[in-house]
Structure 1
Amino acid sequence: MAPIIERVLQNTELGEGPHWDIATQSLYFVDIFSKTINRYVPSTKTHTKVHFDTYVTFIIPVEGEKNKFVVGLGRDIVIVVWDGTSDKVEEIKKLAEVDNDSPETSENRLNDGKCDASGRLWAGTMGVERINGHVKPNMGSLYSLGNRNLKKHLDQIGISNGLAWTRDNKKLFYIDSPQLVIYQMDFDISKGELSNKKVHFSLKNNNIDGFPDGMTIDEEENLWVANFGGYKILKIDSKKPETLLATIDLPAKQVTSVAWGGPNLDELYVTSAKFMVDGIVLDPPDHGTLYRITGLGSKGLPMYNFKL
């Protein structure tokens, strides 16, 4: 049976960071350029959002805390109190500021973020993007935040992007989009440390156009990678380097991220964008849409919440 691709929501400028919350059976995501956090509840088809004054880059529920989320806001990692339905948040509390050690990085912003199985946040940054699609190169870093301790792990990053861990928490897969590769690193979950960074999959070597963006993993430990600029999702074997298992074609050119959701974690939610790059206009409904793909024959691993 062929996968079924549905349009769920339209008109996101730069949809990103989908996070499926099992407790509430809802999908949280951001629209970076529209500066919004969003919640979509499939059972009621309800969509709610809140606007901010600056770019908002990820939203992840706080474990055991109702209506609390860790959010990327510009260069700040903050805790937001939001009931998930109103158009305003109740509170914003700053936890940490990244890339504040140099005037050169003062215009950076956070990008993708996810939590590991211990509830530690991993989030990276990217350089300023004065013209859409043209990011100041090699200005970003990758950080972790756990027990109120902010730690920098990597620097000289172009655009810090997708993150995915193996089931045993011993490997982290990581994307720096302009490098056109998916990296694999050894991961020590108890210490929150990375080592042995190496290329696992190269889009260039596999003759794939576009850039790797957001990423998730299924219970068989296959990687599902959004292909920005390539109209597709890549299914990649995490155990065999340079092994492309399948591609899922989409009407959207700027595929930004993916997350498993639904009651059985067998529905793939896909964010996309529609912002103009180099004069090319992308119109709804194909572009800037949140998609749901069913019938893939795969199930995801659960996403972890942030532990304060």
Structure 2
Amino acid sequence: MNSTPVRNLRFSQVIGEAISLEMEADEKVLLLGEDIGRSGGVFGVTRQLQARFGEARVRDTPISEMAFTGMGVGLAMAGYRPVVEIMFVDFIGVCLEQVMNAMSKIPYMSGGNTRVPMVLRTAGGCIGSAAQHSQCLWGLFAHLPGMAVVCPSSPHDYKGLMAASIQSDDPVVFIENKRQLNKLVSSYPLDAFVPEERYTVPLGKAKVVREGSDLTLVTISASVGDALVAASRLEGEGVSVEVVDLRTLVPLDIATVATSVSKTGRLLVVDEDFLSFGMSGEIIARTLEELGTAAVRQVKRHAMPDIPLPASIALEQAAVPSADSIADVIRSMS
């Protein structure tokens, strides 16, 4: 635990600080998106950046995701490092052509001669905004080859992974969680210390954020915080839960997961994204391939059911994994 006092920042300000430092360090870093300039974005991530760096580097765009995402691809091909904001991840459908067939594939189709050092920033997560504004969809991006998929959970990782994403020479989809963005970093259940200086957290490196011996719980994004709360409660019931924060889906650090499961023998994957054909099944399959079925006594998935997100807060809470539901699932695995 870092003894340095936690700064009074929101998660959104931590991301903005990371972007600002990268813009200071590299004049090729540009920002594109709806209302990101004067308004600072729907969550205030880019507030004051247009006033600081100018309209040429922080561009308010029309409501045309296909156009400005394509502009970002072109800028990246020309040697810039654009950070393109898609306000909510649910809106990816209107520019998916640029993501799945341009941003992700041009480096491969050019034989590595053309790089696309571009970050697609967006926000997922369930905050009572109904079926078209509450999805996560990181499993969708992870299914499409050619780009990193980054989903931080901790304040420290939000800043370090954003910096690493901007510095990457390959395209990155960076998915923030709407449940966290307006919260103070001190709300995170682990050390919320965020250094003021510029730093990076490497892509593709999972982290054991809580050690345990009875069961391995693997998750990502805001569900890491829920998992830590559930694990703390269960400790009082004599159940020792090890929590692994994946941090990125692509690259996927299955070695850290397998090492943990080889110790505990039980695996639970928690996912705020949809259950079928997604992260939870992939983690379990790869772990079993790595260790063999004899090394794993029990596996279970706890994810969003395959339904559109309800508008009712009560119904949403019944569907989305929470600290309470995670604890109940672990109890059922005893």
Q: TM-score, normalization: structure 2?
A: 0.27
Which structure has the greater CA radius of gyration?
2
Q: TM-score, normalization: structure 1?
A: 0.29
**Which is richer in helix?**
2
